[in-house]
A and B are shown apart, each in its own frame.
Chain A
Amino acid sequence: MRRAAAIAGALLALMLAVIGGLLVRGIAEPVEAVPAAAVAANGPTAVAANGPTAVAADGPAVVARGRYLALAGNCRACHTERGGLAYAGGRAIETPFGRMYGSNLTPDPTHGLGAWSADDFWRALHHGKSRDGRLLYPAFPYPSFTRMPRADADALFAYLRTLEPAATPNRAHELRFPYNQPGLLALWRGLHFRAGTYRWQADRDAEWNRGAYLVQGPGHCNACHTRRDAMGAPVLEADLAGGLIPVQGWYAPPLNGTPGAGLGDWSTAEIVQLLKTGVSARGSVAGPMAEVVAQSLQHLEARDLQAVATYLKSLPPAPAAPAPVHGEEAARVFAAGAVLYERHCKECHGADGRGMPPAYPPLAGNRSLTQTSPANPIRIVLNGGFAPGTAGNPRPYGMPPYRPLFSDAEVAAVVSYIRNAWGNQAALVGTTEVDRFRSAPLE
């Protein structure tokens, strides 16, 4: 006990020393200096408005705009428990650092944001600080939301004020030591967080800027699609280059232009269709992205999805992964996989792997299969699944779960096979990887 306290004390002292150093160097919590003109984000009523303003007599247009931003940011995903009241909080979010809970965003005076002002809300969204000055954990993606201009933050707050108050108490995060130490959070912020609204790129057109704003700001795409370092910070030089979502165990594929792995050979129309309906000629969404499409993206205006696709298509490619070199066992594994494919998969996905899109996605050239991480094909073979039910695809076709039928070796064989048939190329999958995903959480 005493020893633990000593270690904690030493760690805290170290943190304070480091933070002190950062402050001296002037990089911790920098004061932002963003020209007001730089923040307009091409919205119909986007107004550059930095600095405190009160939300007075919010008109229906402002509330509607805030509702739209809440959808674009998929706020309810984390701030709503399964089957619970919308925005009343309570959803558990598993992180490598412990379990966190989405908070109550309804205007309940005790448990929600009822006592908050627009300035308080701005401080949370833009600076990552709660009303009482407490630093917020970046599981709340304020490193993205800080890109939102004050007008958008105010509109979002105005919308949240119109919700039915829910007297649902917030649950305290259950973080492990040392991640529960506020000093560590201050250090993290000093290293990884810069407050600042979106900066208009003058050499790009309005559509591109709108897309960049939605992706980098409210959409917070990099929360999943950028890999993270050991301290949970996005690796900036690999922005939107794909990442394995910690704990959940799904691979969020690259959104950059990398051929094969990324969106380099997708058309903007295909990207828009995937985001709007959950299915496309190139593939369907699954896992966490099914939720994002169902709750958020399908509700966005066509021109905004077009803007997102335009921006993503402009991202440069990363170097493609080197082609795998298969060992001697490959021929045997592929033969076993081919037999299983013939019996269980061919009817829907075709002998040529072209599938029957959009009902059954193609496997030939399907980037979800051939990423370095085999998480997605393993999970989909084990658990099956439906594309999300959307207005554009309200009655999706389902894929059966093969968990009850296939051994780990059989899953490994069939996944190895589809990762290498029809011109696909990727490393073989082993039974230990399958076993790991058999016990991964489904939700």
Chain B
Amino acid sequence: MLAGLAAAAAAAAAASAAPPDTIAQRVLACVPCHGNEGRATNEGYYPRIAGKPSGYLYNQLLNFRDGRRRNAAMAYLVAHQTDAYLAEIAAHFAAQRLPYPPSRAGNAGPAELERGRQLAEHGDKARAIPACASCHGGALTGVLPATPGLLGLPRDYLSAQIGAWKAGSRRAAAPDCMAQIARALGPEDIGAVSAWLASRPVPPNPDAVAAAGSDPPLRCGTVPATVPR
């Protein structure tokens, strides 16, 4: 009887001390690096995840978990999570609509920025390099459901990602279109396009746009995203 009462009291105490039953509370672990609500600044290294397409974020969580993308801290955090939970986390951050900080000028010179702009907007047909805009949207804010926007990200993060694709330490589901593109880029190309993208202001509507319906220049295994229903 006494034991029963004690157990009931303990259960009541436990019930009163429960955290909010929300996904936002569950993913507070992401905040130290990706910022409140996933809105990491465009300084430093960590990418903003707020407002990125849900399919893109989900693919990245799977890539970290399954070893296609290498980041020890991320791999450790998501190592033992289910597809369904990772999809829920991705949807949570994708739904954040938060203002972007002003873009940062950086220290790239005008010639380097022009080279970056040329690659991003027009590509380089002679080297079979498509324009960033041909897949990531005319305004470079991403295309639904799984192609990310390229603006509002730190330069160091952008150049590290393209470099990792070139080196094979970041991979996506096959066919890995970004790996093909990264291999065609030289170190100066990567520096220039990263600097130009990081210098661009985020437009008033920063949302990813619906797919245009025209064929992309390359086949990409990540599109459409494999979000479980």
Q: Mark A residues whose CB is within 8 Å of B.
A: 81-84, 281, 290-291, 293-295, 348, 350, 354-357, 359-360, 383-386, 388-389, 394-405, 441-443
In the complex, which residues 54-82 of chain B have their Cβ closer than 8 Å to any Cβ of chain A?
Answer: 65-68, 72-73, 75-82
Residues in A neighbouring B81, C-beta threshold 8 A: 386, 388-389, 396
Would B33 and A443 count as touching, CB distance under 8 A?
Answer: no
Tell me the complex Cα distance, A399–B32, Å.
Answer: 10
Which residue of chain A lies nearest to B25 when distances are taken between CB atoms in the complex? A397
Q: Using CB atoms, name the residue of chain B closest to A290.
A: B80
**In the complex the two chains form, is B29's CB within 8 Å of A354's CB?**
no
A383-B73 contact, Cβ under 8 Å, with A290-B80, A400-B32: yes
Tell me the bound Cα distance from A235 to B55 in angstroms.
50
Chain B residues proximal to chain A, CB less than 8 Å: 14, 17-19, 23, 25-33, 65-68, 72-73, 75-82, 84-85, 88
Q: How far is the CA of A397 from the CA of B26 in the complex (A)?
A: 4
B85 and A389: CB pair below 8 A? yes
Q: Give the docked Cα–Cα distance between A394 and B84 (Å).
A: 9
Determine whether the beta carbon of A356 is less than 8 Å from that of B18: yes
Q: Min CB distance, B45 to chain A, in Å?
A: 10
Residue among A290, A359, A403 with max Cβ neighbours from chain B (10 Å): A359
Scoring B32, B65, B84 by chain A CB atoms within 10 A of each residue's CB, the highest score goes to: B32
B interface, by DSSP: helix, strand, loop or mixed? helix
- Set of chain A residues within 8 Å of B76, measured between Cβ atoms: 383, 385, 442-443
Question: How many Å lie between the Cα of A405 and that of B18 in the bound state?
Answer: 26
Interchain CB contact under 8 A, B77 and A385: yes
Are A404 and B84 in contact, with the CB atoms below 8 A?
Answer: no
Measured between alpha carbons, how far is A290 from B80 in the docked complex, in Å?
A: 7
User: Given A389-B80, A442-B73, A399–B29 Cβ distance below 8 Å?
Assistant: yes
A394 touches B85 (CB 8 A): yes
- A403–B33 Cα distance when bound, in Å, is 10
Q: Report whether B26 and A443 are in contact in the complex, using a CB–CB cutoff of 8 Å.
A: no
B-side contacts of A356, CB under 8 Å: 14, 17-19
* Chain B residues with CB below 8 A from A360, complex form: 19
CB neighbours (8 Å) of B67 from chain A are 81-84
B29–A398 CB distance below 8 A = yes
Contact A294 B80 (CB under 8 A): yes
Report the separation of the CA atoms of residues A348 and B26 in the bound assembly, to the nearest whole angstrom: 11
Q: How far does the alpha carbon of A290 sit from the alpha carbon of B78 in the complex, in Å?
A: 11
Q: Is the CB of A398 within 8 A of B27?
A: yes
Give the CA-CA distance A398 to B25 in the complex, in Å.
Answer: 8
> Given that A383-B76, A389-B80 are known contacts, is A354 also in contact with B85, CB under 8 Å in the complex?
no
CB neighbours of B80 from chain A (8 A): 290-291, 293-295, 386, 388-389
Q: List 22 A-B contacts (CB under 8 A).
A: A82-B66, A281-B14, A290-B80, A291-B80, A295-B80, A359-B18, A359-B19, A360-B19, A383-B73, A385-B77, A386-B80, A386-B81, A388-B80, A389-B82, A395-B26, A395-B85, A395-B88, A398-B77, A399-B29, A400-B28, A400-B30, A401-B32
Given A388-B80, A389-B85; A443-B75 close (CB under 8 Å): yes
Which of B14, B72, B76 has the most chain A CB within a 10 Å cutoff? B76
Q: Which chain B residue has the least Cβ–Cβ distance from A83?
A: B66
- What is the minimal beta-carbon distance from B16 to any residue of chain A, in angstroms? 9
Nearest 7 Cβ contacts at the A-B interface: A398-B29, A83-B66, A388-B80, A82-B67, A83-B67, A294-B80, A442-B72
Contacts of A357 in B (CB 8 A): 14
**Min CB gap B193→A, angstroms:** 27
A93 to B159, CA, bound (A): 32
Give every chain A residue within 8 A of B66 (Cβ-Cβ). 82-83
A281 to B, closest residue via Cβ:
B14
Task: Pick from A84, A359, A398, A401: contact of B73, CB below 8 A.
Answer: A401
> Closest CB-CB distance, B182 to chain A, in whole Å?
20
Q: Find the B residue at minimum CB distance from A359.
A: B19
CA distance A423 to B75 in the complex (A): 35
* CA gap between A83 and B28 in the complex, in Å: 26
Q: By CB atoms of chain A within 10 A, which of B26, B29, B67 has the most?
A: B29
* Central interface residue in A81, A350, A397, by most chain B CB within 10 Å: A397
For the complex, what is the distance from the CA of A396 to the CA of B75, rounded to whole Å? Answer: 16
> A404 to B33, Cβ gap below 8 A?
yes
Given contacts A83-B66, A83-B68, contact A400 B19 (CB under 8 A): no
